[in-house]
Structure 1
Amino acid sequence: MTRLDKAAYTDRPWRIHEFAGDFEVEDTWAFRTPGAGPGDFPVMLAAMREAGGLAKQPRPVRFLFWARWRLGALFGWDKTSDGVGARVASLRDRLPEDLRDAPRGPDGDLPLKPVYELGTEAARELANKTAHAVMHLGWAQRSDGEHELRMTVLVKPNGTFGRIYMAAIAPFRYLLVYPALTRRWEGAWRERDHLEGTR
């Protein structure tokens, strides 16, 4: 995994730019997918799903999410009234007409809910009392001609509290969450050939 400049996201012609310009770019990362071609984004998504969600993450990452949800329950950060469709409208409500019937992708076992899934990009979102956040996945060509998975985290903090919260969790993202994602997703790409129906 390599951290990229924000321009690696902003300078690409992703469809999400059309309706998420009011979100801030928090992080952009590239994941190693050796041998990947232009049509392999669906293969990568299928491999990631096969590798499993939160239940298959390392114990420290599962504990971190458990602790966050316990704190959320204690302080009321994750009430339904603060979620997508309540405190904030879903990005699906902003989709251009030609994307409204696009596939969304499965819900999975993560709190991030699917917005859309195309041949080269996909987006998922969540909202609570702290922020409205979007995980954007894109398939991009590198200078050597191969393709790689890129993940960008977009956020709209909920006021001063939301900004403080995002700053407070940054070390946990960098030290635990992102390295775990790297091992899981890059490993999924290496093991993709055993998946049936993805090639």
Structure 2
Amino acid sequence: MRLPNAAHTSRPWRIHEIAGDFRVEDVWALPTPGGPDDLPYLVGQFTEGEEPGKAGSSRVYRALFAIRWQLGRLLHLDDAEGGVGGRVRSLRDRLPEDLLAAPRGPDSDSLPFRSVYLLHDEWAAELANRTVHAVLHLGWVPDGAGGYRGQMAVLVKPNGRLGAAYMLGIKPFRYIGVYPALVRSIGRRWEETAGQRR
């Protein structure tokens, strides 16, 4: 379920300290009911899961990702010099000492995001290309019924007019095809791995 931006901005996340120049693009409640210490399982699901657009995803989801990666190759959107360490510096360069001393967290085998930090109740990972510098933020929040669940926020810093046009152009595809399919997939995988959390 999509949430108002305030569901992210009203919480005392550490990401606010280091990504104040990013805007909150999307916030989603994740169907991942669990206990107070289950965030590492959700992070593992993101970092060890299958590549988006592969088996288990909807046809629309797979098609949208295939189109995006093909456009990226054709337009050189995802070249290394446009990414973190090339066009932009890593958010790790902004971390205060206590976050630098905290676990960095795992990088993804299947997604282009690189971990920035991992805490008990939040994980942040970043990616950059020629259009945007983005943060994937997973928080672990009370569900109002005595349990907890995941909350996903995407923060972005578009790269000039190209980035602004890109974000505007992909917006309907994100809401119609990408996020609903992604949230369903997260919930399905969470249910499938319930035994590992017991």
CA distance in 1, matches of 2:189, 2:145: 22
Letter in 1 for 2:14: R
8 Å Cα contact 1:48/1:189 also seen in 2: no
Secondary structure of 2:156's aligned partner: strand
Alignment-derived partner of residue 58 in structure 2 = 58
Alignment of 1:152-171 (within 5 A): 152-171=153-172
CA distance in 2, matches of 1:184, 1:142: 20
State the TM-score, normalizing by the size of structure 1: 0.89
Instruction: Show CA shifts across 1:121-150 (max 9, x none).
Output: 111111111111111000011332321110
CA distance in 2, matches of 1:88, 1:47: 27
- 1:51, distance to aligned residue in structure 2 (A): 4.8
Instruction: Show CA shifts across 1:83-110 (max 9, x none).
Output: 1111111111111111214232132211
CA distance in 1, matches of 2:46, 2:108: 13
Alignment-derived partner of residue 16 in structure 1 = 15
Residues 149 and 178 (structure 1), Cα distance of their counterparts in 2 relative to 1, 3 Å cut? same
CA distance in 1, matches of 2:180, 2:144: 24
State the TM-score, normalizing by the size of structure 2: 0.90
Alignment-derived partner of residue 45 in structure 1 = 43
Asked if 1:125 is matched to 2:131, the reply is no
CA distance in 1, matches of 2:46, 2:83: 26
8 Å Cα contact 1:48/1:188 also seen in 2: no
Asked if 1:28 is matched to 2:27, the reply is yes
* Alignment RMSD (CA, Å): 1.8
Asked if 1:88 is matched to 2:92, the reply is no
Secondary structure of 1:64's aligned partner: helix
Secondary structure of 1:100's aligned partner: helix
Asked if 1:98 is matched to 2:95, the reply is no
CA distance in 2, matches of 1:84, 1:106: 14
Instruction: Show CA shifts across 1:6-49 (max 9, x none).
Output: 11111111111111100000011101233x22112123333455
Percent identity at matched positions? 50
How many pairs does the alignment contain?
Answer: 195
CA distance in 1, matches of 2:148, 2:80: 38
Secondary structure of 2:175's aligned partner: helix
Instruction: Show CA shifts across 1:48-72 (max 9, x none).
Output: 5565332343333233222112212
